Amino acid sequence: MSSLFPALTGDPGEQVALRFGDRVLTYAELAAAAGAVGERVRGPGRVAVWATPALETAVGVVGVLLAGAAAVPLNPKSGEKELRHILTDSAPALVLAAPGDELPAALAGLERVDVDVRGAGPLPDDRGRDEGDPALIVYTSGTTGPPKGAVLPRRAIASTLDALADAWQWTGDDVLVHGLPLFHVHGLVLGVLGPLRRGGSVRHLGRFSTEGVARELGGGATMLFGVPTMYHRIAETLPGDPELAKALAGARLLVSGSAALPVHDHERIAAATGRRVIERYGMTETLMNTSVRADGEARAGTVGVPLPGVELRLVEEDGTVITSYDGESVGEIQVRGPNLFTEYLNRPDATAAAFTGDGWFRTGDMAVRDGDGYVRIVGRKATDLIKSGGYKIGAGEIENALLEHPGVREAAVTGEPDADLGERVVAWIVPADPASPPSAGELADHVAARLAPHKRPRTVRYLEALPRNDMGKIMKRALPHD
Ligand code: MCA
Ligand code: AMP
């Protein structure tokens, strides 16, 4: 197939490709630095990337992709248990990190290569690579057990980014701003590889702030990507911040994804800026499936229409395909197309369960289609999946981590509505010793250290016993709510 990054493999020029704070790389500099990474990444195989929100992560991933290997982005805040699982499962040949980054003990046995953003090497030619070759392994939570590695082929990255270019009229003239983490699809594939595939540029904020958004959109950036929590914080800030309102009003495109954008936040932003945030719908396993188009109507509460090349259908519980666009008939979203992952690494069972016999991927998301074909997501099949701050979190992995705490006899985890995070992780605990239950802070630290800080319970409730059915299964719906 053709190169993933034509702007790099052609004749890279002096246009800015990447900006992280005051550190900048032009296309020519990125080509040289990615070439230096490519020299260290010999042949196919997997390469872990310590995915801090820094220039080195972008250079490292681009170098790995051009060299024909697959990158495994690691959350630098991953706890011990999660990190060990990912490393054992993906067995990377080496780990790329920024010079000076301190790596945890779990990575000690792995060869480390520092990414030199001023390095120079011959740019590997990726044009002969097969479109089915793995490009990224991205770990994503399920309802139970540890996260699974979604194997994303080169084809999926190219097709999803080109489909978005069509939907959003996204070109090399666009300058994208965001503060998303670089170990998930949203921040890495859309937020970094996207601008590079178009020959445009990205300005990464390091960490999200409304000040950063106002500064960059006010200073030449044309597009903003964010999760709903970020747009919620923008909506909260707008009334007292005319600079932010002006900056957003001047943007070409404001895009939200990873979770549902509350209609209230959409409307508050529209009222204060005259701009409507558009939503797109994707998943680690599928990359992007639908979007409101730049030239379409940006209605609140809809994720728009299927992207070019993506087949989408709604299917009822009994397998009946819904054919009417009546805005009422609810079915599971199933998708098929070049945007899909190929498998869960080392998990043929989970891969088989995720697809129907004829290749449709079961998303687990429930939706209706409006009269004009717009998709509206109305819920999710699994109650044991929580979306908090745009991160997908499996109840099961947190329950397992909590049960490893000596002060916990029984544990159940649920998601509850949260104005800022969408959903917040709530832990229901039966303490081993009711006279001295572990504190909420202690349990949060315990989960943060094992899994990741975003998976920590934000609320802990103590019970004498968990409600169980005759089979002994925990009945989460029977948990007492406030
Ligand atoms: C807090 N912290 C802790 C603890 N408590 N660290 C260790 N132990 C603890 N007990 C740290 C956190 O690590 C963090 O550090 C800081 O304190 C604040 O944590 P938190 O409260 O969790 O952060 P927040 O400010 O609430 O974060 C909100 C956020 C974040 C910025 C919106 O949730 C976020 O970045 N979300 C993006 C998720 C995303 O990209 N999802 C895409 C996946 P520090 O301050 O240093 O960070 S979905 C996807 O890819 C699909 C394809 C799609 O459709 O997009
Ligand atoms: P992840 O597995 O972390 O990639 O998250 C994918 C999930 O995020 C999807 O299955 C949806 O449940 C949810 N999601 C992504 N984008 C949207 C959106 N625009 N509206 C509602 N839910 C979304």
Q: Quick one: which atom of ligand 2 is closest to the CA of 385?
A: 12
Burial zone of 163 (CB within 10 Å; 0-12 exposed, 13-18 middle, 19+ buried): buried
Residue 138 has pLDDT above 90, yes or no: yes
Task: Determine the CATH number of domain 6-191.
Answer: 3.40.50.12780
Residue of 90, 66, 226 lying closest to 157 (CA atoms)? 66
Measured CA to CA in angstroms, residue 206 lies from 61, 203, 378 at distances of: 17, 9, 33
Residues having CB closer than 6 A to ligand 2 are 140, 185, 257-260, 279-284, 303, 363, 365, 377, 380, 387, 392
- Give the number of the ligand closest to the Cα of residue 184: 1
- Give the number of the ligand closest to the Cα of residue 375: 2
pLDDT of residue 355: 98
What are the structure tokens assigned to 451, written together?
Answer: 């899994």
> Mean pLDDT throughout 281-301?
97
* Nearest alpha carbon, ligand 1 atom 34: 389
In angstroms, the CA 279 to CA 255 distance is 6
pLDDT of residue 257: 98
Is the separation of the CB atoms in 16 and 55 below 8 Å?
no
Residue 164: which H helix or E strand, with range?
helix 154-168
AA letter at 390: G
Same fold? 6-191, 387-478: no
Confidence of residue 1 (pLDDT cuts 50, 70, 90): confident
Give SS3 for 429. strand
Residue 482 has pLDDT above 70, yes or no: no
pLDDT of residue 480: 81
* Nearest alpha carbon, ligand 1 atom 23: 454
Q: Quick one: which atom of ligand 2 is closest to the CA of 392?
A: 3
Residues having CB closer than 6 A to ligand 1 are 77, 180-181, 184-187, 208, 227, 229-230, 257-258, 282-284, 389-391, 444-445, 448, 453-454, 456
Residue 80 has pLDDT above 90, yes or no: yes
Residue 461: which H helix or E strand, with range?
strand 459-462
pLDDT of residue 402: 98
Q: Quick one: which atom of ligand 2 is closest to the CA of 186?
A: 4
Mean predicted lDDT score pLDDT of the chain: 96
Ligand 1 midpoint to CA 77 (Å): 9
* DSSP-derived secondary structure letter, 478: G
* Nearest alpha carbon, ligand 1 atom 55: 258
Ligand 1 midpoint to CA 41 (Å): 30
Residue 186 has pLDDT above 70, yes or no: yes
- Give the number of the ligand closest to the Cα of residue 180: 1
pLDDT in tens, 38-74: 999 977 799 999 999 999 999 999 999 999 999 999 9
Using a pLDDT cut of 90, give the percent of the chain over it: 95
* Nearest alpha carbon, ligand 1 atom 6: 453
Note the helical H segments in 241-371.
Answer: 242-249, 263-273, 348-354
Using a pLDDT cut of 70, give the percent of the chain over it: 100
In angstroms, the CA 427 to CA 440 distance is 9
* Nearest alpha carbon, ligand 1 atom 13: 453
pLDDT of residue 44: 73
Mutation test residue for ligand 1: of 232, 258, 388, the one with most atoms within 8 Å of CB: 258
In angstroms, the CA 461 to CA 411 distance is 10
In angstroms, the CA 36 to CA 133 distance is 22
Q: Quick one: which atom of ligand 1 is closest to the CA of 456?
A: 10
Which of these CATH numbers, 3.30.300.30, 2.40.37.10, 3.20.20.70, 1.10.1040.10, describes 387-478? 3.30.300.30
Domain ranges of the chain: 6-191, 387-478
Ligand 2 midpoint to CA 22 (Å): 32
Q: Quick one: which atom of ligand 1 is closest to the CA of 181?
A: 40
* Nearest alpha carbon, ligand 2 atom 9: 283
Confidence of residue 107 (pLDDT cuts 50, 70, 90): very high
Ligand 1 midpoint to CA 454 (Å): 5
Mutation test residue for ligand 1: of 57, 186, 292, 450, the one with most atoms within 8 Å of CB: 186
Q: Quick one: which atom of ligand 2 is closest to the CA of 280?
A: 19
* Nearest alpha carbon, ligand 2 atom 23: 259
* Nearest alpha carbon, ligand 2 atom 21: 260
> Mean pLDDT throughout 71-99?
97
Residue of 131, 129, 147 lying closest to 183 (CA atoms)? 147
- Give the number of the ligand closest to the Cα of residue 388: 1
> Mean pLDDT throughout 77-93?
97
Q: Quick one: which atom of ligand 2 is closest to the CA of 303?
A: 19
Give Cβ neighbours of residue 37 (< 8 Å, ≥ 6 apart): 59, 60, 62, 63, 64, 67, 96, 113, 115, 119, 121
